[in-house]
Amino acid sequence: MLLWVGLGNPGPEYARNRHNIGFMAVDAIAARHGFAPWRNRFRGVVADGTVAGRKVLALKPQTYMNLSGESVQAAMAFFRVPLDAVTVFHDELDLAAGKVRVKKGGGNAGHNGLRSITQHCGGPDFWRVRLGIGHPGDKERVTGHVLGDFAKSDREWVETLLDRIAEAAPFLAEGRQDQFMNKVAGGTTLVPPDPPA
């Protein structure tokens, strides 16, 4: 079994936050691939399904971001999922908006959800799907940017990105992370460049 974890904060007030793009990604995958309805388990909500012939459990921790690892660890223990079968979808400040990168292991770059999973689940060697939300340019504005909603002008590229992630999910299930990234990139940029000043 593969465990695919979307990171975010529970509650309608956070639903459109940039910090919740991990939740949005696993929602899109579950919808596209006909997963069972979401249900409460492991201090989160889970939905299970099959992608490219592999059984996948999608998990959205409902513990708030800083304690995400408690939910992930509970699901891993119950299903005996090894760390390298865990993929975490999360927002990434250090990637331009709309960019996606996949990596295994590494640091947490100040991301409290990743830090919690590393602490609770046996180390950093899980897969990460890093979903670029861009950097506001000023350290003082980071919290407001991350916890702010996507703007109306972002809606088109966010929806396109989520659709591509759901479409490319079979590559992830097959362990073909490079092909997943290529499929999501699709040869086009998702976010229009800023107009010249």
Strand order in the sheet with 54-61: 39-41, 44-51, 54-61, 2-6, 86-92, 127-132, 100-104
Give residue 136's pLDDT: 86
Q: How sure is the predictor about 175, in pLDDT bands with cuts at 50, 70 and 90?
A: very high
Give residue 149's pLDDT: 95
Q: Does residue 177 lie within any of the structural domains?
A: yes
3-state secondary structure of 176: coil
pLDDT digits (tens, 9 = 90+) for 25-67: 999 999 999 999 999 999 999 999 999 999 999 999 999 999 9
Is 82 a residue whose pLDDT tops 70? yes
Active-site position among 19, 33, 111, 145: 19
Is 115 a residue whose pLDDT tops 90? yes
Domain that holds residue 149: 2-185
Strand bridging mode 86-92 / 44-51: unpaired
Is 116 a residue whose pLDDT tops 90? yes
Give residue 89's pLDDT: 98
Q: Does residue 191 lie within any of the structural domains?
A: no
Q: How sure is the predictor about 194, in pLDDT bands with cuts at 50, 70 and 90?
A: low
Give residue 16's pLDDT: 95
Give residue 139's pLDDT: 85
- CATH number, domain of 54, equals 3.40.50.1470
Is residue 33 part of the annotated active site? The answer reads no
Q: Does residue 109 lie within any of the structural domains?
A: yes
Q: Does residue 117 lie within any of the structural domains?
A: yes
Considering the entire predicted model, what is its pTM? Answer: 0.93
Give residue 137's pLDDT: 85
Q: Does residue 116 lie within any of the structural domains?
A: yes
Q: Does residue 194 lie within any of the structural domains?
A: no
Q: Does residue 56 lie within any of the structural domains?
A: yes
Give residue 110's pLDDT: 83
The Cα 171–Cα 51 span in angstroms is 9
Burial 113-134 (b: 16+ CB within 10 A, else e): bbbbbbebbeebebbbbbbbbb
Q: Domain total for the chain? A: 1
Percent of the chain, pLDDT > 90?
Answer: 85
